[in-house]
Chains A and B, each alone.
Chain A
Amino acid sequence: MRLTLHVWRQKNAQDKGAFSTYELEDVNTHMSFLEMLDVLNQDLITKGENPIAFEHDCREGICGSCGFVINGVAHGHQKGSTVCQLHMRHFADGDEITIEPWRAKAFPVLCDLVVDRSSFDRILRAGGFITARTGSAPDANTIPIPTETLEHAMDFAECIGCGACVASCPNSAAMLFVGAKIAHLGILPQGQPERHKRALAMVEAMEDEAFGACTNFRTCEAVCPKEISISGIARMNKDYRKALFSGVGFASGKKR
């Protein structure tokens, strides 16, 4: 099939950036979206142009590296999938496709479709863990965990940290991402001792970054490749509120 692509090109973080248009002939419908870009890039290189930089690694939807906005939708229109799992059979001959990077102040563009998502790492460092020193754990079967509890935690643990939630949110909120980690660890019995301290520290770290706040648009949930529920945000708010009023202390030492 024949396609017209409008792709965001930006040399580096300082560059202003603009769309460039590329015409593609003979795109095979069994290709993945990234393979379609690979083929275009091979062509650009041969012609002496710079290839389009985009992030990707596992190409099986789990590493969270890839992601950009396709026709206004983070990861494209296929529900519950990353860009690498999107195949060209979902497009039609003659389609025009606009491709742009995640747009969020907290994710500055580094080059073309590559953005800096280190803000996510900083939030997780603030408290996205259960402190369990290597070698200190009791036997794994010491605490039975009901399957429903476990599966509930796993629903949130699946987050791949791709950033689509932020990119799709009109406020560029990171709350689905933060809520997912707080819910994953806060649902499990192992996560209870640090539960409220964790919520407090992570929310504070999130507020130190350039993310907005949730106003219930739910676009994050709609584009999430792992279809993570916004109920994680409710859990985050609940744990955070409880932490504020239960005197667990401010992890960062800040007073409010």
Chain B
Amino acid sequence: MKLDARIPSGPLTQKWRDLRDHLALVSPANKRKHNVIVVGTGLAGGAAAASLGELGYRVKAFCYQDSARRAHSIAAQGGINAAKNYQNDGDSVFRLFYDTIKGGDYRAREANVYRLAEVSNQIIDQCVAQGIPFAREYSGYLANRSFGGAQVSRTFYARGQTGQQLLLGAYSALNAQVAAGTVEVHPRTEMLDLVVVDGKARGIVTRNMVTGETECHVADAVLLCTGGYSNVYFLSTNAKGCNVTAAWRAYRRGAGFANPNYTQIHPTCIPQSGEYQSKLTLMSESLRNDGRVWVPKAEGDDRDPNAIPEDERDYYLERIYPSFGNLVPRDVASRNAKKVCDEGRGIGPGKRGVYLDFAEAIGRLGEDVIRSRYGNLFDMYEMITGENPYKNPMRIYPAPHYSMGGLWVDYYLMSTIPGLFVLGEANFSDHGANRLGASALMQGLADGYFVIPSTLGEYLAGAKLDDVSVNSDACRQTVRDVEKRTRKLLDVRGSRTVDSFHRELGLLMLDECGMSRTGKGLSEAIDKIRALRAEFWENVKVPGDGTDLNQELEKAGRVADHFELAELMCRDALDREESCGGHFREEHQTEEGEALRDDENFRHVTVWEFKGVDKKPVAHREQLEFENVQLTQRSYK
């Protein structure tokens, strides 16, 4: 596997502009001749499919949901960053770039991140033109808020539903292209494999989730925009359907998987209420702007929170990090919540929770102001817990939320398989070892609206692509592989449900490859995952057959891939003998208990090459060069 990031030469601020000046173009007449497959219709996929359709490519878009409008980007609440500096508070493209690089603990590629910051402003323009109702000030101009970890106000938002509004914008652009005849949408269709012909990605094999039919679709390029893999933990904030299958199948076909262990555990989620729990609900971390995090000073203090006097409360984030306080980055907030719960000071059922208290803010600003800022989040909290957060502090606990790792891509967003492009959360490129709040929406739309429409043309203009038919040997063989695997899952006829396996895997991953990790724990986890995977293939119970709508079969295929991913995540976490961002190895911490990076030995991206399910994958390295920022130890004190 050769890793050439193809970063353009020249100064950081000119790379993207210069590249675009010189990228090969595909003529309008030829664009019509190129078929492009887009898998996933979230912010990255929806925006890419719509924009490529506008350019004249023939696009087929696929999603597992019943409509392209339901991709999980829709659930993002807080906002989207951009370097507009509308607040005149000193923001700039460089500062957004710098914050993102630093927030990612210096484990992202400078050039990609700078480009992201650079196109962020165009995204806001585009979204407003589409009719996205971003919040405004009384003047009628756009409003901003400060968001987790940022010292400037650069986050644009639409109530607590920014992801929904942005996705519906991309979906409406997609609809316009469907009407124009350039894009064909295939809902309820799940990608189960990638077709590789002569070393190039040339198509996908899908399962029609209503009829069970296995189909092959061919194209000149395949774009995976399939989101992240936090559902490997079973309980996460991801939608129930989110899965790694598309990316994993590509990995098995030769695409490098980069930094799989980098996952983000979001600090402000509603704690688990019982065994039956199916998913965790995130509340926007904008809540931390006005809420104060605390636990009782004493272990096992289970008094009513309002009965605990001020001097018996530990506002531990404000105490440990006096300058950032409750606004420390997500990984720091999460790890500290786990720590105080491990000390026996957790609150609520199961004692895995901390308070997020608005009493001070309500006293200072009044309930109406708090309601106007967070009303829908407070309502949601009350709906789920049955408790009134205006009267009692909220209970929160961290939950897996986002995966920074993903398929390796170069500057053009192309994976190690030519013709296979990866966008949005599914790739690894922009967030390093930790993502800042309100940056996921920015990246998805940057990749989809502004990066891929430029870089895809360069590939298509230069690649020699022979016609591939769905009846070719490569396609037929891939279809057979998929059918065989589906049959295998159905034929186990064991006695244990898919969910029970998934739940056990998730717990194991959260314990050993979650907020903090150890070499010993990770090594043991690998053995346990392998044993559990073996049991899965011998004892899983998938009812029904493959010829109709079968939600258990869908889940079984995804969980089978999550097993293999889980092992790779542990392997990657074990390999990275340092702490950085969301990856905290207990062996590598400062005297103060903070993440201790090892820039000399680990200033690189680890890219894994598949060698077989029961064979050790091979690790490749992409060295990260920092020419424009000084590597510093993150300090939020």
Contacts and interface: CB of A to CB of B under 8 A. Distances in A.
Interface of A: 11-12, 28, 30-32, 34-35, 38-39, 42, 45-46, 48-51, 53, 55-65, 78, 81, 85, 87, 89, 110-111, 114, 116-118, 120-121, 124-141, 144-147, 150-151, 153-154, 157-158, 160-161, 184-185, 188, 190-191
B418 interface: no
Contacts of A131: 176
A50 B543 contact: yes
B543 A35 contact: no
A147 B70 contact: no
B165 A59 contact: no
Interface string B159-172: 10101110010011
Contact of A144 (B141, B282, B384, B549): B141
Nearest to A126: B179
B74 A138 contact: no
Contacts of A135: 122, 126, 449-450
B126 A49 contact: no
A59 B127 CA distance: 26
Nearest to B158: A154
B620 to A, nearest CB: 34
A62 B172 contact: no
Contacts of A64: 67, 69-70
Interface string B64-79: 0111111010110000
B175 A129 contact: yes
Nearest 9 CB-CB pairs, A to B?
A144-B140, A137-B129, A129-B172, A132-B129, A137-B125, A140-B128, A57-B239, A154-B133, A134-B51
A63 B164 CA distance: 8
Interface string B565-601: 0000000000000000000000000000000000000
B187 interface: yes
A32 B54 CA distance: 42
B133 to A, nearest CB: 4
Given A42-B500, A63-B70, A111 B548 contact: yes
- Measured as residues with beta carbon below 8 angstroms from the partner, the interface class of chain B is 35 or more
A136 B129 contact: yes
B72 A58 contact: yes
Contact of B380 (A48, A61, A144): A61
Nearest to B133: A154
A11 B239 CA distance: 25
A87 B499 CA distance: 21
A63 B75 contact: yes
B240 interface: yes
B86 A141 contact: yes
B239 A59 contact: yes
Given A35-B276, A138-B129, A150-B136, A45 B541 contact: yes
A246 B513 CA distance: 64
A134 B126 contact: yes
B281 A124 contact: no
25 contacts: A30-B386, A57-B70, A58-B70, A58-B75, A58-B240, A59-B240, A60-B281, A63-B74, A64-B69, A89-B386, A117-B66, A121-B175, A121-B185, A129-B130, A135-B449, A137-B129, A140-B125, A140-B128, A141-B141, A150-B134, A153-B131, A157-B133, A185-B131, A188-B131, A191-B131
B277 A35 contact: yes
Interface string B166-202: 0010011101101100000101000000000000000
B21 interface: no
B66 A62 contact: no
A65 B239 CA distance: 11
**Main SS class of interface, A:** loop
A38 B276 contact: yes
Contact of B548 (A11, A31, A120): A11
A134 B453 contact: yes
Contacts of A147: 136-138, 140
A46 B168 contact: no
A185 to B, nearest CB: 5
B65 A38 contact: no
A51 B551 CA distance: 9
B585 to A, nearest CB: 32
A193 B163 CA distance: 26
Contacts of B401: none
Given A35-B278, A132-B130, A138-B129, A124 B175 contact: yes
Contact of B84 (A34, A140, A188): A140
Contact of B497 (A46, A87, A110, A161): A46
Contacts of B409: none
Contact of B176 (A81, A129, A136): A129
B279 interface: yes
Given A38-B276, A87-B386, A157-B168, A57 B72 contact: yes
A48 B453 CA distance: 50
Interface string B527-563: 0000000000000010110001101100000000000
Contact of B139 (A116, A124, A144): A144
B306 interface: no
A138 B125 CA distance: 6
A128 B552 contact: no
A138 B380 CA distance: 36
Contact of A62 (B74, B132, B449, B541): B74
B117 interface: no
A150 B133 contact: yes
B553 to A, nearest CB: 11
A141 B383 CA distance: 36
